[in-house]
Amino acid sequence: MSKRGIWKYFVLTVLMLSVCGCGRPNLIGTDAAVYSRGALYAVASQDLNSVYAATVTALKQLEVEVIETAKDVFYAKVVGKIADGKTITIRMEPGEKNITEITIKASKFLTGNEERARVVYTQIKLNL
């Protein structure tokens, strides 16, 4: 293979890795939050049921219309609609020892809104 062909594969690989990334960042400890790739990732030191209830209450307190909810033993999701028509999606997954992983995405498109996601997360924490 020519140098030019190797270079093309290298550039393509770098582009794919930068676009796809590794998904959720690794978090250490509980009650921590990191904003990455358009979403806020957090870990709460509460069980799924408590975090789910706190999330629904938080959106109501922030005057966000709850338009979708789903919950079972393995997963929970709450979607809210803001007055400007954009959505906030909160996903929750239970972990070991009564911790819950939370993902908050505040937008319609690939790029998120960090400020809105942090406001929602702060309100959730206040309700826990």
Per-residue confidence band for 126, with pLDDT thresholds at 50, 70 and 90: very high
Per-residue confidence band for 112, with pLDDT thresholds at 50, 70 and 90: confident
Helix (H) or strand (E) holding 57: helix 48-61
Render pLDDT for 24-50 as a digit per residue (tens, 0 to 9): 555 445 667 899 888 999 999 999 999
Angle at 127 between CA 86 and CA 72, to 5 degrees: 70
- According to CATH, the superfamily of the domain at 26-127 is Kinase associated domain 1, KA1 (3.30.310.80)
pLDDT at residue 107 in the model = 79
Render pLDDT for 52-91 as a digit per residue (tens, 0 to 9): 999 999 999 999 999 999 999 999 999 999 998 899 999 9
Q: How many CB atoms lie within 10 A of CB 43?
A: 18
pTM of the shown model:
0.75
